[in-house]
Amino acid sequence: MSNVKNMYNTEASLKYFIVQVLASATLLFIVVIKTLTEDLFTFERNPYTPINSVNASKQSAVSV
């Protein structure tokens, strides 16, 4: 009887582990896709320059 109880315990632990892996993988996938799509549409901005300097350079080019 104890062997059957141990089998159910192991099955429950395995199901819990699989659910946790799927949840973590889904969350990681969403974060990666969101980061890639945000970076895909930022053509003019260099990640090392602040946003204000990019806007200031645009305004100075327009006023000239």
Q: For residues 4 and 40, what is the distance between their CA atoms, to the nearest angstrom?
A: 54
**Can you give the residue range of the structural domain that contains 48?**
2-63
- Strands (E) across the chain are located at none
Q: What is the pLDDT of residues 21-61, one digit of tens each?
A: 999 999 999 999 998 888 766 656 566 666 665 555 555 55
Q: What is the pLDDT of residues 6-17, one digit of tens each?
A: 778 899 999 999
Q: For residues 20 and 17, what is the distance between their CA atoms, to the nearest angstrom?
A: 5
Report the number of distinct structural domains present in the chain. Answer: 1
Predicted pLDDT of residue 13: 93
Predicted pLDDT of residue 47: 61
Contact 27, 19 (CB under 8 A): no
